[in-house]
Every structure is written in C-alpha cells, then in structure tokens.
Structure 1
Amino acid sequence: MDVLFAALWGAAGAVSLVIGAWVAVHRRPPKRQVGLVMGFGSGALIAAVAYELVPPGGELSLWAFIALAGGAVVFFFVDRAASASSTGSADRSIVIGALLDGVPESMVLGMGVAAGGHVSIAFLVAVFLSNMPESLGATSGMLASGKTPRQAYRTWWSLVAVAAASAAVGYGILQLLPEADGHFAEAFAAGSVLAMLATSMMPEAYQRGGKATGLLTVLGFAVAGILSALG
C-alpha cells in the first residue's frame, strides 16, 4: 500500500496541470493575465530549482552538474524532434518541459515516501504552484491553435498518470537500492526546467504580460522560497 501512497503523492503534485487547463478552458483569461500568471509560475520554478532541485552546497558534486546539463540536453533534443514533426512552439515546449521535469520530480516524491514515509510539503507545494501556470499558458496556446478542450485535458491527464507512475518507480528504486538518493534525478529535473524556462515559458510570459511580468516572476520566486524555508 505504501507504493500506492507514493503514487498518490505524485499525482497530487501534478493534478494542478489539469486545474490550470480548466481555468484556460472555462474562464478564458485575457492574454495579459495569462502572461502574468506564467511569470509568477516561472519565478516559482526558479525557486524550486535553486532551493529544492540543485543539491545544497555541502552535497554538490561534478556528477550533479553533469546531470543538470543532461536534463537541458535531453530537453533540447526532444523539443527539437517534436518541433520537426508538429506545429506550435511555446505550448508544445512547455508540455515537453512539464514531462521532463515532472518525471524526476515525482520520482523524488516517491523516494521521500520510501525513505521516511512522508514528502517535503514545501517541495510538493512548489511543484503544484509552478505546474498550474505552465498548463494555463500551454492550454491557452492549444486552444488558440485550434485544439479542442478534450485534447488539452487528455494531454494533462496523461501527464498526471505519468507522474503517479514515476513516484511509484521512485519508491521502488529506494526499496531495491536503499543507498540511492534523488540528487541526480533532481539535478536532471533542474536542467530541463531551466532550459524550458529560457526557451519557452519566460519569453511567452513576457510577450503576453509585458513589463509587469518581471515583478510577478520575483513574487513567484519569493513565495516559493518562503515555502521552502518554512518546510
């Protein structure tokens, strides 16, 4: 039953993707509001990278930064391959980024359950907060490009299922390899998050929200940072 508990935590962190899609479908927020929310989410993601995903100073290693670079490289090539076979740009890249950072993030949540029977609430909240603006912005782009709400929901529910499965895998890994930790998985996630932010989410947020997006980005960073400090 513990593995099911881990899977539920993985799904809990990712379900905000569906909530963001619901807001985009039913509320149809103006372009500027979407940009501002995406800016807030960008700041929350940067804080998650800084305080939750990159190992703390005493645990930094060459391999952690190799894993970080690996996450960026994988995002780059997967995004480029997808762009060669489909239309759309920013929304597609955000979905790919959500997948590539969501898998290792969920594995870390599952490892936390296996290690001590609990998860970092600060980390879970940071993931939850950052996922919603990602799906809000990407779903708005999907709808604008002609996709149906059903197609958008199918995309995000699929990612929730992947997150749940990834958390269960993380739980299983730590059961089989008690000495393993999630630092390399976290660093890989950090690399894919940073690459996605630089190429897709932040440029899209600024284009939609204008100069005020910078303020919301800092606010998102501050809120996620406070949650990390409290956790």
Structure 2
Amino acid sequence: MTALWVQALLFGLFSALSLPLGALLGLALAPVSAKVTAQWMAFGGGALVFAVATQLFGESLFRLDASTWIHPTGEAGCGERCKELCVNNILQIFGAMVGAMMYLLLNRWLENRSRPQEQQRGLRTIEEGAQETARGGLELGVASMGTSSMTLSLRRASTLLEEEEEAATMGSAQVALSMWLGMMLDGIPEALMLGFMTNEGAVSFAFLVAIFIANFPEAFSGSSLLLGQKMPVSRILLMWVVLFLLTGVLAMLGSLMMPSNVARGSDLARKRDKATALMEGITGGAMLAMVSTAMLPEAFKGAGDKAGLIFVLGFVLSVWITCLGYRFGGPQG
C-alpha cells in the first residue's frame, strides 16, 4: 500500500492541478469575459459548499449521532465517546469562526493594500479631466468654435480616455495579484487539512473535485488580467505552478505532522482528534467565508439569475460523485 505521505502529496497536487491548467486556458483564451468567470465561480461555489458541509461538518455530526445510544425507555444516552465527540464538535465550531475571521481580515487587508493606488489614480484622472475640460471650453470660446480648437479638444479627450483605460488596467493587475496572494495564504490550512484527512482515511472524490473546481476561476481570470498588463507569460505560469507545488508539499507535511497508527482510545488519539477537529473547523470556516463573500457575489454580478442554477449544478454533481465513491470506493481505496 502506498505510504500515507505519498497519498497526501498526490491528493494535494491533484486538488491544485486546476491552477496551472486554469492559467494556461486563461492565457490561451485571453481576454476572458466576466460572464464566463462568474459561471465558473458559481459552479465551484456549489461544489465547495457541499464538500465543506458534508465532508467536514456533516461527518462530525454523523459520528456524534452514531455514538449515542437508546435506553429501553426510549431516552437517548451519551457515553464517554459521545462526550468526547461533543467536545470535538465544539472545537470545530470555534475553529470555523476563527477561520472565517482570518479570511475576512486577510481579504480586507488585500483590499486596503490595492485601494490607495487605485483611488490616487482615479482622483488624478478626475482632476486632469476637469482641467482639460475647462481649458478646452476656454479655447473653444476664444476661437469661436474654430476647427483647430475643436481638434485640440478632441485630442485631449482621447488622451484622457487612454489614461482612464491605463488606470483600469493597472487596477485589474492589482486585483489579480491580490487574488494570487489570497489564494496562497488561504490554501495553507486547506493543504495541511488534506494531509490530516489522508491519515484519517477521510479523503473523498467529492472533496478533491470541489477544491479542484474552486481553484480554477481565480487562475483562469487572473492569468488573463496579468497578460493584459503585459506581464511575461513565463512569469504568469510560474506564479500558479508555485502554488500548485506548494499545495502538494504542504499536504505531505500535514500527513507527516499528524501521527498515524495510533491506538484508538489512547491519549494521543484524543489529542489528534481534537487537533483535527480544530483544523477542520478553521479550513471549513475560511472556505465558507470565501464562498459567501467572494465567489457567490461575483457569480451573481456576472451571470445573473443563471448563477443560482449553475451553483445547484455544482452541488448536485458533487452529490453524484460522492455516490460513485460509495459505490466503487474512495480515492484511498
């Protein structure tokens, strides 16, 4: 049987394979329309919500329910194992709130990092536009709407439009770079969690496919934006390949960090279960916060009402993949 750390490495690389693939498609199909990117985000959001709700939180609740027992009188009972799982669920809930706050703080920091430059360019463009308009109006009045003055004003208006397009392009590049940095920081706990789940034998096809799909839109659209900013193709590909390799390495490290072959019921097993529950909560909370604040709003903005249908399509496809996993075995089988 393949070593667990090798399995974790392969799972991490597979889940992040959509990063270089998305980058290649984004470069080949540039410029990418906002509608196409929005549709991919809606699809990935549906798959990701299913994976987090069932693979992380749903599995914990199922184990808790299975640990309870029924008295002959019909009253439910909760033994030592049940109480331990209750504590683990509380840790998972706490971790989810921490993960959500971490993601939102990171997202706010990235927005504040890019906003000052964009605002300065926007204010400068507005000021220059007002000055040029005033000068053009004065010249037109002096020349009594002469042909030369009109030509001069049109040239200045054209220059102003070019400056506005340049500012918009710079802003798009900043958004793409912030997107890349956010994916790198957000992917760290996700990759480590994948390594932990590998040791637990809890990795499913649905979870891997959900992460694969969720990673695609950012690389797809970000590469197109960076290419429009005249960034070299080799550098764009290198950025996403680095994330691809980093995800695999971190998943492998997560497997090596988490002890395996631990006797069930031992103190080490309890500590491992608590650490896993906390990490699952942090990862799941960050993912749900990303879906609700980034993926779904952008999906609705770009795809409209169709985003809802595509979201459900991503969700039910994950259900179908899970059914196939139960029928034919999971990836670790």
Q: Which residue of structure 2 lines up, in the alignment, with residue 136 of structure 1?
A: 220
SS of residue in 1 equivalent to 2:102: helix
Number of the residue aligned with 1:49:
52
Give the alignment partner of residue 310 of structure 2, picking from 209, 216, 221.
216
Match of 1:173 among 237, 253, 257: 257
Query: How many residue pairs were aligned?
Result: 230
Q: For residue 123 of structure 1, what is the amino acid of its counterpart?
A: F
**In structure 2, distance between residues paired with 1:94 and 1:193:** 15
Alignment TM-score, normalising by the size of structure 1: 0.83
Secondary structure at the counterpart of residue 54 of structure 1: helix
Describe the shift of the 1:148–1:107 C-alpha distance in structure 2 as closer, same or farther (beyond 3 A): same
In structure 2, distance between residues paired with 1:85 and 1:30: 25
Point out the structure with max Rg over C-alpha. Answer: 2
- Is the deviation greater in 55-64 or in 5-14? 55-64
Deviation at 1:146, TM superposition (A): 5.8
Counterpart of 2:190 (choices 105, 108, 124) is: 105
Q: Within 1, Cα distance between the matches of 2:175 and 2:285? A: 18
Report which stretch shifted further, 147-156 or 75-84: 147-156
Query: Which residue in the other structure is 1:68 paired with?
Result: 96
Deviations 1:20-68 (A, max 9, x none): 1211111234332221122111111111111123243225622111100
Q: CA offsets, 1:161-207, max 9 Å, x none?
A: 22112211211122379422433222211111121122222222222
CA change 1:151–1:51 in 2 (3 A) is: farther
Per-residue deviation at 1:80? Answer: 2.0
- Structure 2 CA distance for aligned equivalents of residues 42 and 147 of structure 1: 29
8 A contact 2:226–2:236 mirrored in 1: yes
**For the Cα contact (< 8 Å) 2:192–2:251, is it kept in 1?**
yes
Shift of 1:147: 4.8
Percent identity at matched positions? 30
Question: What letter corresponds to residue 124 of structure 1 in structure 2?
Answer: L
2:46 and 2:313 in contact (8 A); partners too: yes
Cα RMSD between the aligned structures?
2.8
Equivalent runs, 1:3-42 vs 2, <5 Å: 3-28=5-30, 29-42=32-45
In the superposition, relative to structure 1, how do residues 213 and 144 fare at CA in structure 2: closer, same or farther (>3 Å)?
farther
Report how far residue 216 of structure 1 moved.
Answer: 0.5
Partner AA of 2:236 in structure 1: A
Structure 1, unmatched stretches of 5+, are none
**Which residue does the alignment assign to 1:193?**
287
Post-superposition offset of 1:213: 1.3
Distance 1:128 1:176, change over 3 A: same
Question: How far apart, in 1, do the equivalents of 2:210 and 2:204 lie?
Answer: 10
Distance 1:79 1:7, change over 3 A: same
